A and B are shown apart, each in its own frame.
Chain A
Amino acid sequence: MNRKPIKKFWEKEAVRRRILLMLLIVSTTAVASGYMANVLPHMGRTGLEIALIIFFAMLFAWISIGFWTSFIGFLILMRRYNRFTINWPSYANDPGIEKNARTAILLPVYNESVNRVIAGLRATYESLAATGQMAPFDFFVLSDSTNPDRWVEEEAAWAELCKEVDGFGHIFYRHRRPNIKRKSGNIADFCRRWGRSYRYMVVLDADSIMNGGTLVRLVRLMEQNPDVGILQTAPTTVGRDTLIARVQQFANHVYGPMFAAGLSYWQLGDAQYWGHNAIIRIEPFMRHCALPQLPGEPPLGGHILSHDFVEAALMRRAGWEVWLAYDLGGSYEEAPPTLLDGLTRDRRWCQGNMQHMRLLLTRGIFPAHRALFLNGAMSYISAILWFMFLNLSTIEALAQAIFEPKYFPAHRTLFPHWPVWNPGWALTLLASTGFILFLPKLLSFFFILFKQRQAKLYGGFIKLSLSIGAEIVFSTFFAPIRMLFHSKFVFMILMGQKVGWHAQPREDRGTTWREAFRFHYGGMLLALIWGFIVYTINRSFFWWLTPILIPLVLSAPLSVWSGRADIGRMFRKYGLFLIPEEIKPPPELKSLKAYLAKLDTQAASLGIDRSKGFVQAVVDPKINRLHLAIQRQRRRVSPKIAERRRQLVQRALTEGPDELNDLEKKEILIDPTSLSSLHELVWESPEEIFSGRWRVSTP
């Protein structure tokens, strides 16, 4: 049942603000496109030039959205007053949370590094415990892991954690075997089983950390705003050492707050949900936010990959508000450690955002959410637009060099057609584009320096200035590489190629040269050929293209070097890309580091590596027992299946765990009879099997 469509107090203001945004975007785009038309030799009179102007206008409109959002965000932060913020300071002194406001903190995991997940969970748990308001909160590790080793590792780590923090009854573990609908299905499965026991859920990611005070505050805000269905925090990226991740962390800290404030200004109660670090009112979520399956086959049909935007739109369609608490701190996540990891994630997001285009005209979705769908898709489509714009520019430049200009066309004219190339105008246009792109960075600098007065948290005035300069260089270098990959993703999706579901790496592993060349050789080759042709035919245009071509040619080394943690640490040593959490780490991040170090150095039991979860479940009596206990009750199986499993156990015993594939391992793990039999048989086996095949070390 949807809520009555009551006019919200902020809706009128939201309409006014969005009209203002539209006017600003249209006016700046119109002026810049006019300049562009004047820069072109035929003043936009040829078909090619018209196409160029159209692409330019779309791209300029796209970047001006970011510019105006940041600019408004800057004004809000400078004023330190926002009439429509959800996080009113007066709410801060409210009494504790009532016990009925039961809140589940969900940690969906999928084959992620168990140590990192558990250390993060522990840091959040202890931070919450320190607030003294643990009573209404429960934690759920919702595992979708398909790797049998990870599955057992998670169970053991969960039990150890509960034992260490006395978390039994507050920290729960559930493993789901059929991973239907991926993360959204995982959350929906929780809602179906236990959703009715809780009023709210805080959805985290495997790499999320939240401060206990922030969690309490989120619940209070939800209690005080009964019309709010989803309240999203603005997570800051922390905790990585690789160069590219440190650059992203720095950019997120310096420019992020301004951008988030600006977003909140336009969106008000029509904000988006980013899928994690947000609190959700469960009852309306269960009623209205179940995701439909899109008609047709993936990539554009099937299950919705980027569920978050759609859930926010459905929540809003049902009459509930979705807000962004942009000024609420204590919410953290981690950036992908390497360029290739980031691109792999983008590939998945790209498919999800392209699917949203199919929902763009769906009935009942609010216009603001339609705009968000379009905005999400444009994040990737803009890459292909840029790529096409560059191609058209190249064609225009080559045509100018190859073909003789026709001064006297066939029909009679008073004056000859005189192609004019005005470098001054081109430079003006370049400068104005640069202004749009880089002014927000400058504004952030001023904000930190003069309003926050927190330059020392970024290493001081000089290091902050140098870091911003270096970040601009890095982002300029990586932009063409991302553009090329995003264009490829969009093209592949439109051609019907779907994406798999892989775990996102949560550790600072680098990129090998082999990997880098395998992924980047196409782009490098393209840039070399492109550059050679332009250099040969129109040398003056070649220099205009170098900011695009040089990064593409260097993409493999850039990918390797930017993914190295030692280079990132070197930058840190010299005080570049520092963030406040590194200068003055909050307690929860300190705890995370300490727990992670402790878990990484834990000794192996029975000489079995902790990452060999399956072997542990078979050999280690404690883990074996724990796993059997967590399993569901025994089920009767057909004699055929029983016989197959018996043979599998026999094979596992004689050939050892290395000869089994993941499916076979899982079949043993899900069957208590097979697992307990194998456990006993291994322990009863001769020495060559016990120590040889199963590698148990006896003292």
Chain B
Amino acid sequence: MKNQSVYPDIEPPADVAPSTTSTPEIYFGATDECTDWQNARDRVLLYLRSINMPPILGLSIALDVLRRAVKKCEVSTEYYPAQAAMLSLHEVLTERNLFPETRAFWDRRKIFCTSESTIPLNETAGILSETAAFSGGLPVAPPLKRGHMQPGFMDRKPVRSFFGRLFRRKKEPDRPVSKRTPKVPQRMVANGQPPEVRDEP
């Protein structure tokens, strides 16, 4: 029961029954402030549950978060309980690298994955916990292998050209060549590469 690896952050029970008057209202209940703290607790637990946090780890994080939130509220009056709790939760998750896509994480990381690459997803996020086999990545799309599609020649005035062809005596080649300059880089044509195929990094 008292295995530290299973309950890493839980402190002795004496902590939850304080006798000093300096203890915040959070530990008692039956006041407005207590209701606010209950909401904060519920929200933290809801968030942890919605990311499929393992139960024991989740509760230990919640405890840590609420303690930090209480401290935040003591230090500054600009926070209300739910706000302080959620800010603390994001701090804790970032510190433990459990759910790194917080604002701080985004700010640290300038380049995120493109839609064509693999997405690093932390398995504790829950939704993709089974994808750990993909070495932490989720393929949304395969690597790009770009080509291009250029519309072929088509008469802009087919009726006129049809009757023109019909009444014209001289023989024409079967396949007409567009008068417009092809939009293909000339260096590729010069290299003997098929113009329809283009390699891009």
Q: 1/0 per residue B150-172: CB within 8 Å of A?
A: 11111110110110010000000
Q: Would A620 and B50 count as touching, CB distance under 8 A?
A: yes
Residue A513 lies at the interface, judged by CB distance under 8 Å to chain B: no
**Residue of chain B at shortest CB distance from A619:** B50
Picked from A188, A192, A629, A680, the residue with its CB within 8 Å of the CB of B103 is: A680
- Max chain B C-beta neighbours (<10 A), residue from A188, A633, A685: A633
For B144, the chain A residues whose CB sits under 8 A away are: 193-194
Interface status of B26 (Cβ within 8 A of chain A)? no
**List of 5 A-B pairs having minimum Cβ-Cβ separation, nearest first:** A361-B162, A290-B149, A292-B151, A629-B119, A361-B158
| Chain B nearest CB, measured from A425 CB (Å) | 41
Q: Which residue of B lies closest to A620 (CB)?
A: B50
Complex Cα distance, B106 from A606, in Å, reads: 25
Residue of B115, B141, B149 most packed against chain A (CB within 10 A): B149
What separation, in Å, do the CA atoms of A192 and B141 have in the docked complex? 14
Chain B residues with CB below 8 A from A359, complex form: 154, 158
Q: Does A631 contact B (CB under 8 A)?
A: yes
Within 8 A of A (CB), among B70-115: 80, 82-83, 86-87, 90, 99, 101-103, 106, 110-115
When chains A and B are docked, how far (Å) is the Cα of A363 from the Cα of B89?
68
Task: Answer whether residue B146 sits at the interface, using C-beta atoms and an 8 A cutoff.
Answer: yes
Which of B5-13, B60-68, B123-131 faces chain A?
B123-131
Which residues of chain A are within 8 angstroms of B128 by Cβ–Cβ distance? 159, 163, 626
A174 in the interface, Cβ–Cβ < 8 Å? yes
Establish whether residues A363 and B151, one from each chain, have CB atoms under 8 Å apart when the complex forms. Answer: no
From B42, B114, B121, B151, give the contact of A625 (CB < 8 A): B121
Residue A454 is within 8 A (CB to CB) of chain B in the complex? no
Bound-state CA distance A287–B198 (Å) is: 12
For A680, list chain B residues within 8 Å (CB).
86, 90, 102-103
Are the C-beta atoms of A362 and B155 separated by less than 8 Å? yes
Measured CB to CB, the nearest residue on chain A to B134 is: A168
Q: Does B147 contact A (CB under 8 A)?
A: yes
**Known contacts A286-B147, A358-B158; is A634 also within 8 Å of B50 by CB?**
no
Determine the distance from Cα of A430 to Cα of B86 in the docked complex, in whole angstroms.
80
Chain B residues with CB under 8 A of A673? 106
- Asked if A314 contacts B176 (CB within 8 A), the reply is no
**Which B residues are in CB contact (< 8 Å) with A625?**
99, 101, 121, 125, 127
Please tell me if the beta carbons of A633 and B149 are within 8 angstroms of each other in the complex.
Answer: no
Which residue in chain A gives the minimum CB-CB distance to B80? A686
Are A699 and B42 touching (Cβ within 8 A)? yes
Q: Is the CB of A363 within 8 A of B82?
A: no
Contact B119 A192 (CB under 8 A): no
The chain B residues found within 8 Å of chain A, CB to CB, are 39, 42-43, 45-47, 50-52, 80, 82-83, 86-87, 90, 99, 101-103, 106, 110-116, 119-121, 125-128, 130-131, 134, 138-156, 158-159, 161-162, 165, 174-176, 194, 196-197
From the candidates B82, B113, B120, name the one contacting A686 in the complex (CB within 8 A).
Answer: B82
Q: Give the CA-CA distance A676 to B175 in the complex, in Å.
A: 56
Which residues of A approach B to under 8 Å, CB–CB? 1-2, 5, 138, 140, 159-160, 162-163, 166, 168-169, 172-174, 188, 191-197, 286-293, 295, 314, 317-318, 358-364, 605-606, 620-626, 628-634, 672-673, 676-677, 680, 683-687, 690, 696, 698-699
Task: Output the nearest chain A residue to B105 by Cβ-Cβ distance.
Answer: A676
Q: Shortest CB–CB separation between residue A142 and chain B, in angstroms?
A: 10
Contact indicator A621/B47 (Cβ below 8 Å):
yes
Which A residues are in CB contact (< 8 Å) with B159? Answer: 361
Query: Given contacts A191-B149, A698-B46, is CB(A630)–CB(B125) below 8 Å?
Result: no
Closest chain B residue, CB of each to CB of A633: B112
Which residues on B sit within 8 Å (CB–CB) of A1?
194, 196
Chain A residues in 8 Å Cβ range of B155: 361-363
12 A-B contacts (beta carbon < 8 Å): A160-B127, A163-B128, A163-B131, A168-B134, A194-B145, A195-B145, A197-B143, A286-B196, A363-B165, A630-B140, A631-B115, A696-B46
Question: Which of A159, A295, A361 sits near B127, CB closer than 8 Å?
Answer: A159
| Identity of the chain A residue whose Cβ is nearest the Cβ of B109 in the assembled complex | A634
The contact of B50 among A188, A358, A621, A686, by CB within 8 Å, is A621
Q: Which residues of A contact B142 (CB under 8 A)?
A: 138, 172, 194, 197
Given known contacts A174-B115, A192-B147, A196-B147, is B197 in contact with A168 (CB within 8 Å)? Answer: no
Q: Judge whether B139 and A621 touch: CB under 8 Å.
A: no
- In the complex, what distance in Å separates the CA atom of A314 from the CA atom of B140? 32
For the complex with contacts A138-B142, A358-B158, 6 further pairs of A-B residues with Cβ separation under 8 Å are A172-B141, A290-B151, A363-B165, A622-B50, A677-B103, A690-B82
> Closest CB-CB distance, B66 to chain A, in whole Å?
15
Cβ contacts under 8 Å, A191 to chain B: 147, 149
* Beta-carbon contact of A288 and B152 below 8 Å: yes
A613 to B48, CA, bound (A): 21
- Cα of A212 to Cα of B153 in the assembled complex, Å: 38
| Of the residues B39, B99, B154, contact of A698 by C-beta under 8 Å | B39
A196 & B80 in contact (Cβ 8 Å cutoff): no
Nearest opposing residue in chain A for B112, CB measure = A633
B87 touches A629 (CB 8 A): no
Interchain nearest-CB distance for A155 vs B (Å): 9
> In the complex where A168-B138, A606-B50, A684-B87 touch, is A362 in contact with B127 (Cβ < 8 A)?
no
Residues of B within 8 A of A295 (CB): 156
Query: Which residues in B have their C-beta under 8 angstroms from that of A162?
Result: 138
Q: Which residues of B contact A628 (CB under 8 A)?
A: 101, 112
Determine the distance from Cα of A606 to Cα of B49 in the docked complex, in whole angstroms. Answer: 10
Q: Smallest Cβ distance from B190 to chain A, in angstroms?
A: 17
Neighbouring A residues of B125 by C-beta, 8 Å: 621-622, 625
Residue of B nearest to A295 (CB): B156
Chain B residues positioned under 8 Å from A631 (CB to CB): 112, 115
The docked-state distance in angstroms from the alpha carbon of A242 to that of B171 is 58
Q: Report the nearest A residue to B172, measured CB to CB.
A: A363
Question: B140: which A residues are within 8 A, CB to CB?
Answer: 172-174, 629-630
A residues in contact with B102, CB < 8 Å? 676, 680
Which A residues are in CB contact (< 8 Å) with B115?
Answer: 174, 630-632
Decide: B112 and A672 in contact? CB cutoff 8 A.
yes
Please report the C-alpha to C-alpha distance between residue A699 and residue B46 in the assembled complex, in whole angstroms: 8
A174 touches B141 (CB 8 A): yes
Give chain B nearest CB distance to A281 CB in angstroms: 14
CB neighbours of A317 from chain B (8 A): 152
CA distance A2 to B86 in the complex (A): 64
Least distance between A177 CB and chain B CB atoms (Å):
11
Expressed in whole angstroms, the minimum distance between the Cβ of B186 and any Cβ of chain A is 17
Q: Does B46 contact A606, Cβ atoms closer than 8 Å?
A: yes
Q: Assuming A606-B50, A620-B50, A684-B83, is B158 touching A362 (CB within 8 A)? A: yes
Chain B residues contacting A168 (CB-CB under 8 Å) are 131, 134, 138-139
B114 and A287 within 8 A (CB): no
Residue on B nearest A361 in the bound complex, by CB = B162
Residues of A within 8 A of B153 (CB): 363-364
Query: Could you tell me if B103 and A622 are in contact, using CB atoms closer than 8 angstroms?
Result: no
A292 near B152 with CB under 8 A, answer yes
Contact partners of A360 in chain B: CB under 8 A:
158
Q: How far is the CA of A15 from the CA of B156 in the complex (A)?
A: 29
Most A-side CB within 10 Å, residue of B50, B83, B174? B50
